[in-house]
Structure 1
């Protein structure tokens, strides 16, 4: 068989089995009819280019899950298999979506942060829900730059509310402002006060976890554009943040008062009955460990490779 055809079979197989694209999506991407995509996937399996192994997740990950739950006093640790060469947030999002859809109960208040990982999870949730009486609220203000709308907290609150047949609220202020007087003014705004009051009655919080190793990423830079927030990682031993509130690897919460942040603080976040953290990646291993050591999370949803990295740091 020609080398070009072999390479084409491999490319199509990667799009389907690793990247999680549907056959219809692949057909549009590579400009090949959908029926031919199906035949190519079969041919790839026949030639041994694709090998499918089915394993029991509980068998593979029980030890890792038990370690995380016992070590950090979690309610649950949910672990997703990760391809060693391809961190697929869509796969993590699909897994998290199923958990959130089944876990969040009617008549509850749900707080959320911002970011790409949460966007994947909320987008993957079922379109219709029979639940009722849910309110979704942002726990952090908006970006300073032109962050993609899909990743902003207000947009994510609306998206999740649509999936849960819920009501969403908006927090109309930046996450970081230039002065204490401006922060005080925004915090005292009556509309924002309604949001802050809801924070005191949360049943769930769903948060991503930032890292000192991702500050060069475009979305991070747009969120904190023209602010000095990045200096907190160079001036302190902070390894990560949740809701723009930094912490160290050993779990110490680091003061961020001089940055004039408008978000729920981490001591208050700890009081929420169920805090669900969704994060993965080698560049977030230390930051996830810091969040776990700070006992901020009740549930962690991550990948096997990330969980192994956390366990290795603890040994």
Structure 2
């Protein structure tokens, strides 16, 4: 086989397996038909250019799944095979999108949060015109800084509503405002009231899980810019948050009465029949464990290595 062929196969394999591009994206990038891309990937595997290995730590993901369902009273646990740290979120989204879009039913109301993890999942939702009478709403206000539009809840609401052929409503307020007076004004706004009313009748809530170890990321800084939310995360007990409500590893929520946060109340979120949490990575392990301990999540979607790391901490604490 000539070197040009080897170079082509290697390039396609790198784009697909290492950079996480879809076959359609590769097709557009190198101007080869999508069906040919699939054949070339098979050829690359056959020649040994791509070597797929099995993670020896995951001998039985079914047992790991059962562990989480039993110990955290989950309805389901989706364990995504890990890839590489750089494309964990993409892999998570590729699994989460089709799974969630499949379980959502007609005549339902969906609430969503914000962030990269949700953006990846929503981009992978299966477009469905058969389901009907679905409404999508945000569960929290927007950023106080200039967060990338792709990650904002109102934008994600719009994208998800298009995927599901659904209705949508937006929340026109920051997540954290400067005073209680302003908060009350925004809460009484008729347009925002429409969204708040939907919070009382949610069937699904799809949420990311924040971590105390990601406060240096630009997206985190922009979301909470010019607010004193970061002061809460200086509390050594805080490991993460759900919709800007910080919690400890034991699942206890921290008092945030001094903050003027506009998001769904955690007790109300707990009453939602299907709360789906998405998160993965080394910097989210303690945060995911804390989120599980709140008792709010009904379904968790994460990677195998993240799940194992959470179980390790859980087992260690149980032996103490």
TM-score w.r.t. length of structure 1: 0.90
Matches within 5 A, 1:122-133: 122-133=122-133
CA contact (8 A) 1:87 1:281 kept: no
Cα separation, partners in 2 of 1:84 and 1:20, compared to 1, 3 Å: closer
Number of aligned residues: 311
Matches within 5 A, 1:64-103: 64-103=64-103
CA contact (8 A) 1:145 1:222 kept: yes
Cα distance in structure 1, aligned partners of 2:278 and 2:41:
32
- SS of equivalent to 1:227: coil
Give 1:126 shift: 2.1
Cα separation, partners in 2 of 1:112 and 1:314, compared to 1, 3 Å: same
Cα distance in structure 2, aligned partners of 1:254 and 1:132:
39
After TM superposition, the structure 1 stretch with the greater mean CA deviation from structure 2, 207-216 or 192-201, is 192-201
Q: How big is each residue's C-alpha offset from its partner over 1:28-63, in whole Å with a ceiling of 9 and x where there is no partner? A: 65xx553797786466434423124689xx973101
CA contact (8 A) 2:277 2:299 kept: yes
Give 1:129 shift: 2.5
Q: Which residue of 1 aligns with 2:318?
A: none
After TM superposition, the structure 1 stretch with the greater mean CA deviation from structure 2, 121-130 or 287-296, is 121-130
CA contact (8 A) 2:88 2:281 kept: no
Cα distance in structure 2, aligned partners of 1:254 and 1:2:
63
Structure 1 unaligned segments of length 5 or more: list them: none
After TM superposition, the structure 1 stretch with the greater mean CA deviation from structure 2, 297-306 or 59-68, is 59-68
Structure 2 unaligned segments of length 5 or more: list them: 316-320
CA contact (8 A) 1:18 1:88 kept: no
Cα separation, partners in 2 of 1:15 and 1:174, compared to 1, 3 Å: same
Cα distance in structure 2, aligned partners of 1:257 and 1:205:
23
Cα distance in structure 2, aligned partners of 1:167 and 1:122:
16
Cα distance in structure 1, aligned partners of 2:46 and 2:149:
43
Give 1:24 shift: 5.2
Q: How big is each residue's C-alpha offset from its partner over 1:173-196, in whole Å with a ceiling of 9 and x where there is no partner? A: 000001111111111212212211
**Does 1:208 pair with 2:226?**
no
- SS of equivalent to 1:259: coil
Q: Which residue of 1 aligns with 2:14?
A: 14
Cα separation, partners in 2 of 1:105 and 1:17, compared to 1, 3 Å: same
Q: Which residue of 1 aligns with 2:32?
A: 34
After TM superposition, the structure 1 stretch with the greater mean CA deviation from structure 2, 80-89 or 66-75, is 80-89
**Does 1:281 pair with 2:278?**
no
TM-score w.r.t. length of structure 2: 0.89
Cα separation, partners in 2 of 1:296 and 1:6, compared to 1, 3 Å: same
- SS of equivalent to 2:64: helix
Runs of 4+ in 1 over 6 A off after TM superposition: 1-8, 35-40
Q: How big is each residue's C-alpha offset from its partner over 1:61-110, in whole Å with a ceiling of 9 and x where there is no partner? A: 10110010001000000010012454432221121111111111111111
Give 1:259 shift: 1.7
Over aligned residues, Cα RMSD in angstroms?
Answer: 2.6
Cα distance in structure 2, aligned partners of 1:310 and 1:167:
37
Cα distance in structure 1, aligned partners of 2:87 and 2:227:
30
- SS of equivalent to 1:269: helix
Give 1:123 shift: 1.3
Q: Which residue of 2 aligns with 1:182?
A: 182
Cα separation, partners in 2 of 1:290 and 1:7, compared to 1, 3 Å: farther
Give 1:117 shift: 0.9
Cα separation, partners in 2 of 1:230 and 1:9, compared to 1, 3 Å: farther
Cα distance in structure 2, aligned partners of 1:151 and 1:97:
16
Cα distance in structure 2, aligned partners of 1:4 and 1:221:
46
